[in-house]
């Protein structure tokens, strides 16, 4: 970690936090776009100031997805994403996730809620099978 900080690949963002340098992030997104053109499908809307989840049609074929650092409060519906393996939802204002939201994501192995402000306001049970996730 120290060498990444000293080489300016990471920047301090508080006493116990680091963040990726903007140039490194942009390069990562550029690489992801190249991979997408070769058949890998990435959907990245990190920091896009979204207040609601994007339309399912725009990301149903994605393998990897990032909606981190937005203002999304509600994820409704039942998207069919048979190829989705990774989903980042950290740093959102989620209040509601529909019970069936993750139901048709059979290959989802990484789901990140780190620093998620989540308060369940729905009735009933909310269940995620964590047995196949990293």
Residue pLDDT tens, the chain, 134 long: 788 888 887 888 888 888 888 888 788 778 877 766 666 688 888 888 998 888 888 888 899 999 988 999 888 889 999 999 999 998 888 888 888 888 899 999 998 876 554 444 444 544 555 555 54
- Residue 64: how many other CB atoms lie within 10 Å: 19
Judge if 1 and 24 occupy the same domain. Answer: yes
Judge if 17 and 73 occupy the same domain. Answer: no
Provide the number of structural domains found in the chain: 2
pLDDT of residue 120: 47
Judge if 72 and 25 occupy the same domain. Answer: no
At residue 45, the 3 state secondary structure works out as coil
* Domain assignment of residue 84, given as a range: 41-132
Which long-range contacts (C-beta less than 8 Å, at least 24 apart) are formed by 32-39? Answer: 32/64
Judge if 115 and 59 occupy the same domain. Answer: yes
Judge if 25 and 67 occupy the same domain. Answer: no
Query: Are 65 and 43 a contacting pair, CB within 8 Å?
Result: yes
Judge if 69 and 30 occupy the same domain. Answer: no
Single pTM value for the model: 0.66
Judge if 50 and 94 occupy the same domain. Answer: yes
pLDDT of residue 121: 47
pLDDT of residue 61: 87
CATH of the domain at 82: 3.80.10.10
- Percent of the chain with pLDDT strictly greater than 90: 16
Query: Quick one: CA dihedral 119, 80, 87, 37, positive or negative?
Result: negative
Cα separation of 44 and 63, whole Å? 11
């Amino acid at each position: 970690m120290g060498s990444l900080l000293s080489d300016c690949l990471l920047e301090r963002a508080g006493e116990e936090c680091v963040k990726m340098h903007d140039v490194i992030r942009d390069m990562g997104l550029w690489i992801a776009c190249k991979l997408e053109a070769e058949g890998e499908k990435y959907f990245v809307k990190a920091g896009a100031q979204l207040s609601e989840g994007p339309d399912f049609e725009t990301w149903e074929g994605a393998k990897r997805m990032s909606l981190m650092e937005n203002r999304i409060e509600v994820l409704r519906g039942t998207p069919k994403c048979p190829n989705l393996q990774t989903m980042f939802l950290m740093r959102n204002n989620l209040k509601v996730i529909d019970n069936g939201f993750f139901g048709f994501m059979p290959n989802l192995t990484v789901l990140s809620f780190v620093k998620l402000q989540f308060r369940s306001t729905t009735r009933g049970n909310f269940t995620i099978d964590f047995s196949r996730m990293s």
